[in-house]
Chains A and B, each alone.
Chain A
């Protein structure tokens, strides 16, 4: 509960900064816009036009009134109007969101089972464990977007069947769902692999530690003494009991994964939120930048909260058992 309050307070602080920092900075957006559309950007607004525009955007109101208005609008899901896309920010983000979440899910679907399987094998083979542990300690320090770039010119540029960029084949006509899914997977493969390179070691370390602690539990001895098959012991007793920290780690790593995904998308020109963010940065589309930021903050904090609840639930369960 205390933790939830803290995360809520964190969100409040971030939200306040997000609102006030641009408004307390010297200058205002209208100084940098031109009253003539097109290439000629040097014609400034006259005083009357400035007043009109300030009134239109509500910039003539006191800061607190502006804040109340923004808050009310945001609570209704209105994040403002994107300047570059000329659409509501929420519509732009929601349109791209499936790509980003899909990519995050795809990379997790690759890395999590692989990490758990590797950890299961490694806890029983010390020599292999040592090698994998050492290699992963180095690999997890590599930034995913550089890995993505390296994969792009080392792998994708050399083989024919891997696309260099994009999320799907443009103007493609699919004969069936399977073909469409195959196309999506092919385009998502390299971005997902670059994300995996960094998240795989994280899951591996957590799973390994969890398996090592479960392995010493007396109930395993009891289960084996009852003559249960090794496969059953592994599924029912080891995996199930070791799962909680791994799932908690999954939720905790949403923050890092999110940041990496935003960058990796840009490497592969993947049509997700990350590429929108880069466009927004290039055109100084502040409402969109702030929208993406608020959205990712909510996602990360929700992940942390979920991870906390999970751990709290586990503690409770242990206490009831003991």
Chain B
């Protein structure tokens, strides 16, 4: 029994440990590392060494410090998008699933429309108008992420609301808020949270794609922007610079996205099997 649990939960521990290590590594860089992420602290394009663990970029700014700043900015953005998605998607989904009828039809229609929109082109168009403002980027990504969460939440709420104990509570005169809080929340919240977690990884990826295309705040230190600057550096592949300037943000972004998305996916599958 114990072995079975350990076997089943192994991936979870691995992914959480990976995320923790990334966080600690970049927390050190953001809090205790002496170099500034915005001011030059060495020569231009220094190779990795004791003074600059991951070298410097063309302006002589420490890469490790930039990556650390970028990690927390990306994570912050991802978590903000996730929270916003949980609020909008979870709220609308619960409302639609619980009320049914016209409300449900309206939410269903909105969900269908948002699911059909090709996301990246939309984000590029809107980002071209509004991309400089970080809060708006968060809003935009959340606006195109809530639909799947709402859909799943509505389905879960609907099935939970038809249970006999909910009907019993209602016949005893319980109001909607009481039922949502005491009877439905325990069933529905995991669905909302897992959906929101899936958005975190997606949001980090989409923001990096926008920044890579040059649609983000040019003064922010984001990974996408670092990749954009490095890959535009003429002839970078004919020198050794890519080894620390370009490979580092690409690897950091890949690992972060991979860990968060696999974690969300693993939890989602557990949830579907009903064992969380």
A interface list, Cβ under 8 A from B: 6-7, 9-10, 13-14, 18, 21-22, 25, 137-138, 141-143, 145-146, 149-150, 152-153, 156-157, 164, 255, 258-260, 262-263, 266-267, 277-278, 280-282, 284, 286, 289-290, 292-293, 296-297, 300-301, 304
Given contacts A289-B128, A301-B116, 4 further A-B contacts (CB under 8 A): A149-B250, A263-B213, A281-B215, A284-B128
Distance of A138 Cα from B118 Cα, bound (Å): 23
Taking CB atoms, residues of chain B closer than 8 Å to A141 are 201, 257-258, 261-262, 265
Q: Does B27 have its Cβ within 8 Å of any Cβ on chain A? A: no
Does the CB pair A266–B212 fall under 8 Å? yes
Q: Does B276 have its Cβ within 8 Å of any Cβ on chain A? A: no
Taking CB atoms, residues of chain B closer than 8 Å to A145 are 209, 212
A-B contact count (CB 8 A): 112
B interface list, Cβ under 8 A from A: 109, 112-113, 116-122, 124-126, 128-129, 201, 205, 208-209, 212-215, 227, 231, 237-238, 242, 246-247, 250, 253-254, 257-258, 261-262, 265
Closest to A152 in B: B237
Does the CB pair B237–A289 fall under 8 Å? no
Does the CB pair A153–B247 fall under 8 Å? yes
Does the CB pair B122–A293 fall under 8 Å? yes
B120 interface neighbour in A21, A149, A263, A286, Cβ under 8 Å:
A263
A138 interface neighbour in B212, B242, B258, Cβ under 8 Å:
B258
> Given contacts A143-B205, A149-B250, A152-B237, is CB(A297)–CB(B118) below 8 Å?
yes
In the complex, the 3 A-B pairs of residues with the closest C-beta atoms, listed nearest first: A259-B120, A157-B237, A141-B261
Taking CB atoms, residues of chain B closer than 8 Å to A281 are 124, 128, 213-215
Does the CB pair B125–A289 fall under 8 Å? yes
Distance of A164 Cα from B126 Cα, bound (Å): 31
Taking CB atoms, residues of chain B closer than 8 Å to A18 are 125
| A204 CB, min distance to chain B CBs, angstroms | 16
Does the CB pair A292–B117 fall under 8 Å? no
Does the CB pair A10–B113 fall under 8 Å? yes
Distance of A267 Cα from B232 Cα, bound (Å): 10
Taking CB atoms, residues of chain B closer than 8 Å to A259 are 118-121
Distance of A146 Cα from B248 Cα, bound (Å): 12
Closest to B242 in A: A153
Does the CB pair A296–B237 fall under 8 Å? no
| B47 CB, min distance to chain A CBs, angstroms | 16
| A297 CB, min distance to chain B CBs, angstroms | 6
